[in-house]
Structure 1
Amino acid sequence: MPIPPFVAELRALVGTLELWLPAVTAVVRRGEGAGTEVLLTLRADNGEWAPITGILDPGEEPAVGAAREALEETGVEVTVDRLASVSASPQVVHGNGDLGVYLDLNFSCTWVAGEARVADDENVDVRWWPADALPPMADWLRERIEDALADETAARFRTAPS
């Protein structure tokens, strides 16, 4: 579902004005060491590779939302292992002109079951990539993957560049 119903209701009131929305990223990994792979989606809206992302539903627990997005977008079941980082996205201009900035809770996740596939209309491809050979993507998305693969115990908090 590309636009959650609650966002559509907000858009009816505010039009394309910038919205500040809570979101999650699920960086899903499979394997260990040199064999570690990361699950990426090729987005239908901009044709770019990205980790799994999505908007939280009102009242939804963030880790539950990350697991839900992984299943909805790629058909895989995951464990949500830890909060890897917290950051704000740059302003996003959606294909319909809607503006948004997302407070992102980035989770490190582990694949449990399911064959990765395109499971919704938000993506045109889903693929496992070697962690050391990821395709081109926006720097802020690559940072999220790096944060999730860092295996640190504390979350990283991004700050504005100096």
Structure 2
Amino acid sequence: MPIPEFIVETRKKIGTDLMWLPSVCAVVLRDSTDNSAWAVPEVLLVKRADNGQWTPVTGIADPGEEAHDAAVREVLEETGIRATPAAILGVGAVGPVTHGNGDLASYMSIQLRLEPEDPAAVPHVGDDESSDVGWFPISQMPVTDPKWRLVIGDAAAQRKHPAGFSPRMGFTKR
């Protein structure tokens, strides 16, 4: 579902004017399938159909939907992977973004770390928002956007040292 129905209805009233939307970034990590001493966690990524960029799973929260529920829903819809929320990584603003159809939006992104219910489950492209999906060692991930690399790094750090982790407030501040 590329555009939630509540946004379609709101856009009928406001056109392409800037909208402020709650969103989630779901960073799903699993232990490496490589059993070497140098193994790093693997991250579930999607290749966005609109711009060809590899990212964690992202999406818009529905009205009244809790962030962790939105993250679980988006991961299942986009990749077929059932995941469980594990930690809040931070909150940051994204945008404004001009979408291909001319719509303007800014997002309040809540980043969460999730764990797959079945680490051996094979992901698949679940909707038309993505053209590919897969697990990647975080040391060899194809993510190029610095904000998503930062969030994935935060997820790995939080997973390894949960007691010493502080959620990030914004994408550039700690």
Bin of the TM-score, shorter chain as denominator length: over 0.9
1:130 alignment partner AA: P
Report the CA distance shift for 1:160/1:42 in structure 2 as closer, same or farther (over 3 A).
closer
In the aligned structure 2, how far is the partner of 1:82 from the partner of 1:154? 11
Q: CA deviation at 1:109?
A: 0.8
State the match for 1:81 in structure 2: 86
Alpha-carbon displacement from aligned partner over 1:81-139 (angstroms, at most 9, x marks no partner): 01001101122121111111100100011111332010111000001111111114211
Partner of residue 118 from structure 1, selected from 110, 125, 128 = 125
Residue 3 of structure 2 is matched in structure 1 by 3
TM-score, reference length from structure 1: 0.93
The answer on whether the counterparts of 1:85 and 1:148 sit within 8 Å (CA) in structure 2 is: no
Question: For the residues of structure 2 that align with 1:123 and 1:24, how far apart are their CA atoms?
Answer: 16
Q: Which moved more, 1:89-98 or 1:47-56?
A: 89-98
2:61 maps to which of 53, 56, 61: 56
- For residue 153 of structure 2, what is the aligned residue in structure 1? 146
User: Is 1:106 matched up with 2:111?
Assistant: yes
Q: Could you tell me how far 1:154 is from its partner in structure 2?
A: 3.2
Aligned residue for 2:50? 45
- Which runs of 4 or more aligned residues in structure 1 lie more than 4 Å from their structure 2 counterparts after TM superposition? none
Distance across 1 between alignment mates of 2:29 and 2:172: 28
Higher CA-based Rg: 2
Q: Given the alignment of the two structures, is residue 15 of structure 1 paired with residue 12 of structure 2, yes or no?
A: no
Mapped to 2, the partners of 1:97 and 1:149 lie a distance apart of 35
Q: How many residues align?
A: 161
CA, structure 1 residues 157+3, in 2 after alignment: closer, same or farther (shift >3 Å)? same
* Counterpart residue number, 1:34: 39
Sequence identity, in percent? 44
Deviation string, structure 1 residues 30-73 (Cα, Å, up to 9, x no partner): 10572410010000111111100000000001101100000000
Gaps of 5+ in 2: 33-37
Alpha carbon RMSD of aligned pairs, Å?
Answer: 1.6
Which of 107-116 and 63-72 deviates more?
A: 107-116
The amino acid of 2:39's aligned partner reads A
Report if the CA contact (8 A) 2:55-2:143 is conserved.
no
CA contact under 8 A between 1:21 and 1:101: conserved in structure 2?
A: yes
| Kept after mapping to 1: 8 A contact 2:93/2:171 | no
